[in-house]
Structures are given as structure tokens and as C-alpha cells.
Structure 1
Amino acid sequence: MTLSIWNHRGPVTGPWTKKQGETLTLGFIGGSITDGRPRHNWPEPVTAWIVEQLPGVHIAVENAGIGATGSDLGSLRAERDLIDRGTELVFVEFAVNDYDEPVEKRGRTLEGLLRKLLADPKREVVLVYTYIQSMYEYMMKDEKPPIIAQYEAIAEHYGLSSVWMGLHALDEVKRGHMRWEEWLPDGLHPTNRGSYSYGTSVIRFLAAERERSLTEAEAASWLERRQTAMEKPLDPRNWQSASLVELTDVQTTGPWVLRRLNGIPWIDRTLETAAVGAKLSFTFHGRGVALGFDFGKTSAEFRYRLDGGEWQTEVRERPDWVGTDGWFRLSILALDLEIGDHTCEIEVIHGKSSNCNGTNFRLGLIGQLP
């Protein structure tokens, strides 16, 4: 098998139709490799190239990449962070952070995220794949790692183009154009040189797309293909219909505050307490429920029960790299309930983990899952 860095399926045409004075809004979503805060990740050279190519066009960027998050959380925040902000061309990067997720679950979450983005036929979406060391043996044998094969099948179904940035960087290493430590100094996160390699692969893709010529009939055919795919999802239980419960609809007992979280813009507001024994409850509709937290070593743990059943205690790992707070972490409490209305009750507790150093309970999101 010969692996391909670039897979040109559905065309990317929107940027090249922009006229002077108009605005093009780019969207990026993924994990730490896409996160805009370091200011050297691959969206930076890609954005710079687009700015250069479109003089007189106003370029807006919505970088919704958040470290240590996957397509499950991505699908729950797609509306607020990408769709409601008017993104027109969106790059989706989750092959690394979804790698250890169950195959069925990650298929549902990624497909749900893509379907939310594709619901607007004018929005163009490109999948991009970075690199984790677990992919090495597959790639050195010219094989697709299972997650790449799975995500390529989803891309094929929806006619979405893709760029295998990790394969492009590995090829540069194999040809002696870049040292491994220049690519991945810590084994996972590229800095300037590695990010530039990733960005270059996307730039080459976009340059080819700009030169790509489609007849009106071919363009219409691609739109029809997308519409057909939207009518027939690969997994009917994908997370397209995943939605949020408003924090203002939560019932509380004890000292709680609904607070604007200025330090973490993706979370916006948290319903929070530091009181052991404080309780909350809410209703949700669907087959499952997920909670998103501002999480860290000073975070509380909690116990919960669904529909009046047995109490269960959440025990979350706190890796060494985690700070006192600042990780937008998702806890999925249920996935396979009978579809319908359900109740969830939660009580704040102090965790038993040796590095649970506080009782801060900061709830930023409640997702009801299809």
C-alpha cells in the first residue's frame, strides 16, 4: 500500500471567491497540537499563507483547539466555538487525542462533530491528522493506523478532503530534511520546525485546491454527494444531536455561584462551589450525559446517581502535567441509557487520590447525548 498525504475529495473553493473588503473566517479545532496559545502551532503558517494569498480580504481566525480534549467535547462545543462564529473553512484535528478512545465511541463523536459543521452546505471542512508514537510501526510498514483508516472512511463517506500532516513530517525525517528532535522535542508536541512542517503540508493542499478546476456539473455532483451522506449517516447514533443543558436550569443545594470564568474563554461560565456536601440536580434527554469541568489538582471529586439508582463515585486521574486548574475535562457518566428523559444528582466530595489537593467543583458544561 502506498500511503497518501493529500486526499482531494470535496473541493475547497470558498476562500478563492472572496473579494476585496470581504471577510473569510477560518476555523480550527483539535487538541494541543492545534491550540492557538503557543503561537507557533501549525495554524499559524497556514493563516499567514492565506493572508498573503488574499490581499484586501479580511481574515478572521477562530482557533477552538484545546489541549487534552477530543472530538467528544468538540462536538458539544461546535455551535458556540465554530458555527455561531461564522466559520467558513474549518480544519478538524483529533486523530491523536481520540487515539485511545473506544472505536465505536470515537466514530460517533467525530461523525457528529462533522455533521454539525456540514449542516450548512456553504461551510467547507478538511480533516487533518497529526502524529502519536503509537502510529509509528504502522506507518513504517506503509499501513494506516486504525484510527486514520477509520477517520478516512468517514471522510470518504462525506466527500471531505484530508491532509495527513504526520505522514508529511515523517517523510521529511526519512529524507533527512528534518531531525526527529526538531519535529517532536517531547515525542508528541511539535515546536517551530515541526509545526512548520505540518503547516506546509496544509499549504500545499490549499495551493493545489486553488488551482483545481471543476465544472458546474462536477461542483453540483459534490454537493449532491454531501446531501446524500447527510441523509444516510454511517452511525445513526452519532453525536450530531448532542446538545447542552443550560446551567441556569440546574437545581442546587448549598453555596453555589454561577461565575464568568475569565481565564478560560472556551468554558465561558461555571457553576461552582468549594463546599464538600454541596449538591445539584438536573434533568436531561437522550441516552447519555457528560459533564465538562475546569479541572486540575485542586478540583473536587463527586458522587452521582442517575434516575434514583445506586450512587457512584467519580475518581479522575491527575497526571503530573496537570496544574491546579485550567484543563477543560469531560466526564461521561452514561452512554447507553434508554432514550428519554432522565435525572442526575451530584454531591461534591473530597477525592481519595493522593494528588487531589482541593475541593473546587467548577462545572462548565452539561451535555445530553443521543
Structure 2
Amino acid sequence: MKLKKFTSALLFSLSSLGLTSLSAQVIAQPNVYKFDTTKTAELRARDGLPNFFKKLHAGEDVKVGYIGGSITNGGLWRAKSLDWLRSEYPKANITQVNAAIGGTGPDYGAARIGDHLLEHNPDMVFIEYRVNNGGVYQGRAFEGLIPQIWEKNPNAEICIVYTIAHWMIDDISKGNQAQAGKPIEAVANHYGIPSIEFGLEVVKLLKEDKLVFKKGDSSAEGKIIFSKDGVHPIEAGHDIYRDVLVRSLKNLDGHGVAGKNIIPAPSKENIFSKASMVPVSEAKFSTNWQRVALTGVDINADLTDENRGGKAIFEQAMKTTKVGESFTFQWQGFLLGLTAVLEGKGDVVVEVTTDGGKPKLVDLKSRKGHRQEKYKFLAEVADGKHTTTVKLVKLAPNKTLQVGQFLVVAD
């Protein structure tokens, strides 16, 4: 959040009371936003993006960062928005950092944002997480992104963008915020961050019978086909996203006062502002484990294109195919997560024991019911030092237990 100045009238009043030393000083207080989090709007400007536009107008080097899910990772709205920025501000040298990974949410994002995005010191960060369970952990995960960005660079600007999926159509067509977006809007209010709703324009065109949301839903003759699956837009859908973003950015240009962003006290306890990734090599493994030879493009080497393959999820990884093998990891915090290969239900089951407590069975199953290179958070515990042992207790034929870096969230 940024600060707003008191009016000159108040300064004059203070001076008239004999507080003349104050009259020459800047007296400020935080901006307070109380937008209805149950409703949505195409643009809520809040504190704006003044540092971003200041650098654009000055023709400086500007690095734009993106974090979110597959709609941003491989989505054309990202590329199209960059094309527009470069044409609108030709004197600026605009580059990008794409830290979005498909199928991941803000819980994982908060743990990896430092390594995958902030390491490259972006001037502007677009966050897209509503479709990928943006409200996970009641918004605590999403909120944890914001202090991390401003601790790294207090002058960096942040903008939240809301993409739409088929299960949100009814809410957004009524002007309501989708369920996962409500805690995100609360974060936006608390930190003064602009939010842009892409979905309102989509449902407007849908109501006007100018758009088919999912190919095959109805006759597409003379209409825009938005998507093939009800979630991921095809190019025409990304054109809509780009157009909404462009007109919102035009409205934001000139809004707000440039300066360092101030990190307020958290809006709730145990936000994910101290989330991080810890190398898998920090754990002690039993005998029958092997290092995994990873393939794909390293996310830290790929700043412009799609992030796919094992190297997008895993920095290092270990694997075993023997039931009974285990590893032990000492950590400090209140929440531990694993990056892992997730399989179908019951294919890979581990027994988790923390601090010598009662063992708990954890099914490393994917939401889609088939193999995915993803992550799994365990149950929350009291904040502090912990020792966790993970033991493989069930493994289906031709399957492998594969784990990578740990996700540690501390208070």
C-alpha cells in the first residue's frame, strides 16, 4: 500500500494550534479501501501502478513478471499484453519473466515466488490465481505473495487479474465475485492493489449472444468461440482478456502517487509471507533411493515461453520403487509440503510422522486421477521446529515415489 497525504487545510489547522513544526512536514496515513468483496468490477484502481507507469514514460528498462496458472503460462493474453505495452511505450525497454506454471495455486506460488520470479527483480507483477483455487487457505496463501514482492523491491507494482472458468459464469453474470476471488479481493483492499476482472466482458458478450463460452455449447455461426474446454481461452478469448487489460491500464495511467510501497501488518495470522522452497538434499534418505534425471526447460532459464516438463516443478528429485523406504526432514514452520509425482487414487500412499506423533496415511493422488508433477501440502501444525518422516507404505505396480524440494511455510 501507499500513503495518502493529509490536506493542506488540516496542515493549516495544526499550524494555527501552534504546531508549526508539523506544517512543514508531510503527514500521511494509509489509504483504506472497503470495496465489497462479494461483488466484482472490471477495474478497482485502488493505489494504482504509478511506479510502473513512471518508468514506462521515462523510457527506462521495465521488467514485467507473471505468476499464476496455465492460463497465464501458455496463455496468449500475456504475449498480447506485452506487445501492446511495447507499442504504447516504445521508448521503454520492456522484458518479461514468466513464472506461471499450469495447475498450480497460490500456496505453491508463495513458496516458490522468491526463486522463480523475484530473483529476476521485476518492476511489475501480474498475479492470476482465481481459477486455480485462489482462495486456498482462506486467502492466507495469496496474501503471502504481496509482502515477499515488496520486501524484495518496495517500488515494484502489483496487479491482480481475474480470468474466468465455466463454473464462475453464473456469479459473474450477476456482478458477483466468484467464491475463490472473495479472499483475493480482501487482500487487494488491505494492500491497495488494483484488480482487473476479465470475466465481466466475457459474460456481457455471452448475454448478447455474441459469444460461445465452450465450443459445442451452441451454434457458433457469426460468434466468438471463447474456449474449447470452458477454462482455457483460445486466441479469440485471449483477445478479450487483452482488450480488457489495455483499457484498464489506460485508466490506471496517471492514477496514484509514485513512491515506495509500505507493507502493512498482515490482515490475518499465518499468512504465507515466509514460505520458501528447501532442496530435497536437506533430507536424510534410506538406502534405496536414486537421483532423478530431470528433463524439460528449467523455469529459471525460461523467462519468456511456456514452463513445462519436470524441471519446471523439480529443482532436484529423488525416487524409489521399494515399499518401506523413507526419508526424514527437519524443518521450522507450521506447514510442510512436498513436490512430488502424483498418481491415481491409491497408487502411491505414504505414512507421515511428525515429531514422533501418530502416523498418518497420505494418498499422493492427483486431482485429475492420473500422473501429474505437482505438489502436496500436509496437515498444519503448531509453528516451531519439527522433524517429519515420510515412509512409502503402498505402491502400485510400475509406479514410483518421486519427491523434490520441500515447501516450508513459517510464521
Q: TM exceeds 0.5?
A: yes
How far apart, in 2, do the equivalents of 1:133 and 1:99 lie?
16
Q: 2:146 aligns with which of 103, 114, 117?
A: 114
How far apart, in 1, do the equivalents of 2:197 and 2:385 lie?
41
Q: Can you give the 5+ residue segments of structure 1 that lack an aligned partner in the other structure? A: none
Q: Which letter maps to 1:202? A: L
How far apart, in 2, do the equivalents of 1:3 and 1:111 lie?
19
Q: Does 1:209 align with 2:252?
A: yes
Quickly say closer, same or farther: Cα 1:219–1:59, change in 2 above 3 A.
closer
Q: Which whole-Å deviations, capped at 9, do the CAs of 1:303-356 have from their partners, x for residues lacking one?
A: 22111122222213345574x45x3x2211121x2221110111234446xxx7
How far apart, in 1, do the equivalents of 2:228 and 2:246 lie?
23
How far apart, in 2, do the equivalents of 1:23 and 1:157 lie?
29
How far apart, in 2, do the equivalents of 1:307 and 1:190 lie?
46
Q: Is the 8 A contact 1:10 1:159 kept in 2?
A: yes
Q: Which letter maps to 2:239? A: Y
Match in the other structure for 1:307? 355
Match in the other structure for 1:74? 109
Quickly say closer, same or farther: Cα 1:303–1:3, change in 2 above 3 A.
closer
Pairs within 5 Å for 1:179-198:
179-181=212-214, 182-198=225-241
How far apart, in 2, do the equivalents of 1:357 and 1:257 lie?
16
Q: Is the 8 A contact 1:262 1:268 kept in 2?
A: no
Match in the other structure for 1:25? 63
Match in the other structure for 1:270? 316
Q: Is the 8 A contact 2:135 2:183 kept in 1?
A: no
Helix, strand or coil: the match of 1:331?
strand
How far apart, in 2, do the equivalents of 1:90 and 1:73 lie?
17
Q: Is the 8 A contact 1:289 1:369 kept in 2?
A: no
Match in the other structure for 2:327? 280
Helix, strand or coil: the match of 2:330?
strand
Q: Which letter maps to 2:311? A: P
- TM-score w.r.t. structure 1 length? 0.84
Shift of 1:77: 0.4
Q: Can you give the 5+ residue segments of structure 2 that lack an aligned partner in the other structure? A: 1-35, 215-224, 297-309
Shift of 1:27: 0.9
Q: Does 1:363 align with 2:401?
A: no
Quickly say closer, same or farther: Cα 1:7–1:42, change in 2 above 3 A.
same
Q: Does 1:339 align with 2:339?
A: no
Q: Which whole-Å deviations, capped at 9, do the CAs of 1:6-26 have from their partners, x for residues lacking one?
A: 111122232452478843211
Quickly say closer, same or farther: Cα 1:131–1:170, change in 2 above 3 A.
same
How far apart, in 1, do the equivalents of 2:342 and 2:365 lie?
11
Quickly say closer, same or farther: Cα 1:349–1:100, change in 2 above 3 A.
farther
Q: Is the 8 A contact 1:7 1:161 kept in 2?
A: yes
Query: What is the root-mean-square deviation in Å for CA atoms of aligned residues?
Result: 2.7
Shift of 1:85: 1.1
Q: Is the 8 A contact 1:128 1:163 kept in 2?
A: yes
Quickly say closer, same or farther: Cα 1:310–1:116, change in 2 above 3 A.
same
Quickly say closer, same or farther: Cα 1:209–1:124, change in 2 above 3 A.
same
Q: Is the 8 A contact 1:294 1:364 kept in 2?
A: no
How far apart, in 2, do the equivalents of 1:367 and 1:121 lie?
24
Q: 2:375 aligns with which of 307, 310, 330?
A: 330
How far apart, in 1, do the equivalents of 2:317 and 2:165 lie?
35
Q: 2:191 aligns with which of 145, 154, 158?
A: 158
Quickly say closer, same or farther: Cα 1:60–1:256, change in 2 above 3 A.
farther
Q: Which letter maps to 2:329? A: F
The more displaced of 236-245 and 294-303 is 294-303
- TM-score w.r.t. structure 2 length? 0.77
Q: Which whole-Å deviations, capped at 9, do the CAs of 1:58-115 have from their partners, x for residues lacking one?
A: 32221111111110000000101111111111111111111574xxx14110000122
Q: Is the 8 A contact 2:343 2:366 kept in 1?
A: yes
Q: Which whole-Å deviations, capped at 9, do the CAs of 1:176-203 have from their partners, x for residues lacking one?
A: 4433231132111111111221122112
Identity %: 24
Q: Does 1:51 align with 2:86?
A: yes
Q: Is the 8 A contact 1:27 1:63 kept in 2?
A: yes
How far apart, in 2, do the equivalents of 1:185 and 1:271 lie?
34
Q: Is the 8 A contact 1:350 1:359 kept in 2?
A: no
Q: Is the 8 A contact 1:46 1:203 kept in 2?
A: yes
Quickly say closer, same or farther: Cα 1:46–1:235, change in 2 above 3 A.
same
The more displaced of 52-61 and 41-50 is 52-61
Quickly say closer, same or farther: Cα 1:297–1:41, change in 2 above 3 A.
farther
Match in the other structure for 1:10? 47
